[in-house]
Amino acid sequence: MAEEETQVEEGPIPVLKWDQGLFEQITRGFRFPPERDARYPQQGQTAADAPPGYITLFEDFFLQGNFRLPATNFMASILHFYGFHVSQGSPPGMVRVRHFEFLCRFHGIEPSVEKFQAFYQLIRNIGFCSFSKLRFG
């Protein structure tokens, strides 16, 4: 008799695979203040399951995108202009914002939404926001 496979139906937002050790490493390494009450999510939760008053931030924001709290003024201006919350940003999109900011600052240029728009466009997908490069030509 063949074993029956159990299929789990996931909604449009995939269930996240959490790692409590990495969560603790990030909260310690990035010095999250205790008053921020960072919480490790429960098994099976999605990014959309943050309790009232909390937001979801992805490890990629911190580890690959060099995101820091509090956010920079440029990051805040991007979020305000495009009208989404940091918890709605996809990690790759947020990495693009930080990368753009780093490059501007390295070259002595003050980053701005207008300059960012010359290279990137907003993309929305299943409740998350990202940025893709504009196609020239």
Q: Return the pLDDT at 67.
A: 76
**Amino acid residing at 87:** S
How far is residue 130's CA from residue 137's CA, in Å, rounded to a whole number? 22
Cβ(109)–Cβ(115) below 8 Å: yes
The pLDDT value recorded for residue 105 is 96
pLDDT tens string for the chain (137 positions)?
444 443 334 455 666 666 888 889 888 888 888 888 888 888 777 777 888 888 888 787 787 767 777 789 999 999 999 999 888 888 888 889 999 999 999 999 999 999 999 999 999 987 789 999 987 75
In the numeric block, which tokens belong to residue 119? 């290279």
- For residue 6, the model assigns a pLDDT of 36
**pLDDT (0 to 100) of residue 17:** 65
Residue 117 sits at φ, ψ, to 5 deg, of: -65, -20
What are the residue ranges spanned by the domains of the chain?
20-133
Q: What's the confidence (pLDDT) of residue 82? A: 95
